[in-house]
Amino acid sequence: MHFTAPSATPPAAAGGEPAGGRRPAPGGPATPTHCPYCALQCGMGLAPAEGEPGGLAVVERPEFPVNRGALCGKGRTAPALLARGVRLTGPLVRSPVSGELEPADWRTALDRVARGLTGVGESYGADACAVFGGGGLTNEKAYALGKFARVVLGTSQIDYNGRFCMSSAAAAHQKAFGLDRGLPFPLEDVSRTGCVILVGSNLAETMPPALRHLTELREAGGTLIVVDPRRTRTAEAADLHLAPRPGTDLALALGLLHLVVAQGLTDDEFVAERTVGWPAARAAAMAHWPELVERITGVPVPQLREAVRLFTAPRDAMVLTARGPEQQSKGTDTVGAWINLCLATGRAGRPLSGYGCLTGQGNGQGGREHGQKADQLPGYRRLTDPAAREHVARVWGVPPQSLPGPGRSAYELLDALGGELRALLLMGSNPVVSAPRAAHVEERLRSLDFLAVADVVLSETARLADVVLPVTQWAEESGTTTSLEGRVLLRRQAVEPPDGVRSDLYVLHELAARLGVEKGFPTDPEEVFEELRRASAGGPADYSGITYRRLAEEQGVFWPCPDVGADGDAGADGSGRPEQSERPEQGEPAVGAAHTRHPGTPRLFLDRFAHPDGRARFAAVSHRPAAEETDAEYPVVLTTGRVVAQYQSGAQTRRVAELNAAAPGPFVELHPRLAERIGAVEGEPLVVVSRRGRAVAPARITGAVRPDTVFMPFHWPGGGRANSLTNPALDPTSRMPEFKTCAVRVERAAQADAGPGPVS
C-alpha cells in the first residue's frame, strides 16, 4: 500500500452519467424501486412531486408481492431524506487548527483519507487498518468494500453491523441446514400455513406491511402464537401469547419439544429419513420438563401445552424468529432449539412448513453474503476454504495466498480500536448509538489515530471523524439488495444527487487508485454486479444467473440462481444449480443469451438439505442462564427494541419531522407494580443503571411488560441512549452481543445518584 497522486478527473458516473440504470425523463412515469429501510424491501415507486421542483413523491406498487403497495410511515416519508437540509452535501475534514470539521473539496478529503490509512499501515502493519460496513449497503457496495479491505489494504480486520442483526440465526441455519438464507420460502407462504410461532418479533412496529400475512393466516383459519416478554401490538393479535422472562427463550423451546416427545407428536418417518442427531437432541429436551420450564421462563404449564396443541394440530406450521431470541449470548443454541422443534415434528423441508428468520436491516442478507463479514468471501464462501480463496482470487486477479484470513467480529473489532487497530474506514453504520456498551465504543472511536466515515447524514459517529465523505443514497443511485426472503432486487436511480455528493463506489475507486491499485474498482454498479456474479458462481449464494436486465423485468430473483447452459447444466464458469429445490424449466427464453434461464430458488430444502448427505442436523442444546443475571444491586431485567416511527440508530429517521412527531424521544416502559415500588410517575424521568453505564428517560407505565422487566427503545443518542446499558457478552459461535437482556436498577431521577455519566 502506498500513496500516489490523485487522478485528475473523477469518473463520469460519480458526478453526471447514470450508474447502472436509466433516469426517467422529467414528468415521466414513476421509477420502480424499493424502500431504503428494513429487509422487507417493500416495493414502491418514485414520481416527481407536484409543486416541488426536483422533489419526489412515493407511489404504490401493488404488484410487488411482499407488501402489495402497503407502506409504513418510514417508507412513505423516505424522500424527506433527500432534502439538502437533511443530508450531507459536501466533504468535511477536521481542521488541525480549530479541531472542528470544516468543508473541503473531494480531492483534499480523499487525499487525507489515503494519507491516514497509508500512515497507519506503514507504521503498524496492514492489520492496524480496519473497515466497518453496514447492513444497509447495496450488494455492490458490500462486495467492493470487502474486496477493498482484502486487496487494497491487505487487512483481515473487516466486519459490519449485520453482526448485531441475525448472525445467531445465520450460524444456526448453517449448522442445521448447511445453508443460511433468512426465509427459505417466500413471505407469502406464511399466510397459507396452519400455525406460526413468532418468537421475539413485534412485526406490527418493526415491519408493519408484513403483518398482513399473519392477518391473512388467521382469516384463513390458521393460528398465531407470539413469544415476547411484552404484550406488543403483534402479541395482541395472537391466538396465544407466551411472555417468558427475557433470556429464557432456549428453555421455552426445549420445554415445548419435551411435550412433543412426551405426547408422541414427533414425525418419526421424517426424522429417520431426513435428519441426523435426534437421540442427543431428544435427551437434552427431556431434561426440560414443563414444571422446570415454568420456573425458568414464567410461562405457565397450561400455556406450554396449548402452544404444542396449536402447533401440531395442522399439517403445516412454521417458526419465525427475530432479534428477541437471537441477540443473546446463547442465541445460536436458542435458534437451534426452535429449529429442533420444526425438525422433530416434520415441519421443515416441505411446502408451507419450516423455520425462518426475519432479517432486520435492509440488506442484512446480501450484506453478509458477499464479503464484508470477517470470515466470508463473496457467494457466502468461507474465507478459510482453500478452494473458495482460489476461486475469488482468480476473479480478483490476485494470488490466493495474498488474501488475509478471518478477522475480528464486529464488537471485538470496535473494542480493539485505539489499541491494535489504529485507523478505521466506516461506511453506513453508527456504532456510537447502535453498539452495545456504547459509551466504551465511543471512547474507542475517539482514541483512533485516524477515522474516516462515509455516510448520507452527519451521524453521531461521523461527528467524531477526521474526514466525513457524503455519499449517495437509495434514490440517487442504482444497485441491488437481497430481502429477508433471499429475493435479489434492483433499486433504480430516480434523481440526481447533489453536486457535492459521490457514490461509495466512487470513494473506493479513488482510494484504491491513491493506494496503488488502479484497476478493479469500477464506479458503475452494474459493472460491479457483473464481477459479483462471477465471484459468487458455484458458491452457496450463487447469483451468477442474475442480471440487471432480468431484475428489471421480474419481481426479483431468489438465490441460489446459477448461470446454466443450453442443456440446463452449469455454465462454463463452474456454477452448479442447487440440488435442494425447484429446478429450472427447460426451454425458458433467456435474457441476453441463448441458454436456459434458471428460475431462481424460492423454496429451499424441498428435496434435500444443503449438507453433503442431504440431511438436517439436530442441535443437542441445553438451557443456561444469561451472561448477566439480576441480583440485589441490579434487580430488574432490561430488554431493548424498536418503535414503529424510528429505525435502527435513528440517524436517518430522527431527521424526518413526521416521524419525530410520532416518536420524539426515548422512554422507559415499566409495569405498574414496579412503578409503585420505586415511586415512578408517568412521564417523569427515570434513571436506569447497569454495570456499564446509565440512561435517563421518561417513564411509560403499562401492564404490557412483565413486572420484573423494563423496556427501552434504542434509537436515540445522548442521555437516553439505551445501548449505554447493554451487555457486550458474545455468543461463542456467532459473536452476537447480548442486547436483549442485562441486569439494571431503576430509580426516580430525583432520588438517583447524580454521579458521572456512562461508565465503560
Q: What is the 3-state secondary structure (H, E, C) of 617-659?
A: ECCCCCCCCCCCCCCCCCCEEEEEECCCCCCCCCCCHHHCHHH
pLDDT at 608 over 50: yes
φ, ψ for residue 194 (rounded to 5)? Answer: -95, -30
Q: How confident is the model at residue 579 (pLDDT cuts 50, 70, 90)?
A: very low
Percent of the chain with pLDDT over 90: 87
Contact 357, 326 (CB under 8 A): yes
Q: Report, as an integer, the average pLDDT of 738-759.
A: 77
Kind of pairing, strands 240-242 and 223-227? parallel
pLDDT at 389 over 80: yes
In the prediction, which pLDDT does 753 show? Answer: 54
- How far is Cα 756 from Cα 746, in angstroms, rounded to an integer? 16
* Residue 535 DSSP SS3: helix
Pick the more confident residue, 736 or 573. 736
pLDDT at 430 over 50: yes
Pick the more confident residue, 568 or 169. 169
pLDDT at 1 over 60: no
pLDDT at 242 over 80: yes
What does pTM read for this prediction?
Answer: 0.91
In the prediction, which pLDDT does 52 show? Answer: 77
In the prediction, which pLDDT does 171 show? Answer: 96
In 287-430, where does DSSP find H-type helix? Answer: 290-297, 301-312, 323-326, 331-344, 364-369, 386-396, 410-415
- How far is Cα 369 from Cα 371, in angstroms, rounded to an integer? 6
In the prediction, which pLDDT does 168 show? Answer: 95
Q: Report, as an integer, the average pLDDT of 494-512.
A: 96
Q: Which run of H or E residues covers position 103? A: strand 101-103
All domains in the chain, ordered by first residue: 14-82 (3.30.200.210), 87-165+363-533 (3.40.50.740), 168-357 (3.40.228.10), 636-748 (2.40.40.20)
In the prediction, which pLDDT does 16 show? Answer: 31
Pick the more confident residue, 628 or 572. 628
How does pLDDT run across 556-565, given as a tens digit for each residue? 999 999 998 6
Q: How confident is the model at residue 55 (pLDDT cuts 50, 70, 90)?
A: confident
In the prediction, which pLDDT does 435 show? Answer: 97
Query: Cα–Cα distances in Å, from 314 out to 39, 219, 254, 346?
Result: 29, 15, 21, 12
Q: Report, as an integer, the average pLDDT of 157-164.
A: 95
Q: How confident is the model at residue 595 (pLDDT cuts 50, 70, 90)?
A: low
Query: Mean pLDDT in the chain?
Result: 91
Q: Report, as an integer, the average pLDDT of 320-335.
A: 96
pLDDT at 571 over 70: no
Peptide bond between residue 186 and the one before it cis (omega within 30 degrees of 0): no
Report CA 691 to chain centroid distance, whole Å.
Answer: 27
- How far is Cα 715 from Cα 642, in angstroms, rounded to an integer? 7
Residue keyed to cell 425458568: 296
Q: Which run of H or E residues covers position 661? A: helix 657-662
Q: How confident is the model at residue 751 (pLDDT cuts 50, 70, 90)?
A: confident
pLDDT at 159 over 70: yes
Residue keyed to cell 459473536: 735
How does pLDDT run across 653-677, given as a tens digit for each residue? 999 999 999 999 999 999 999 999 9
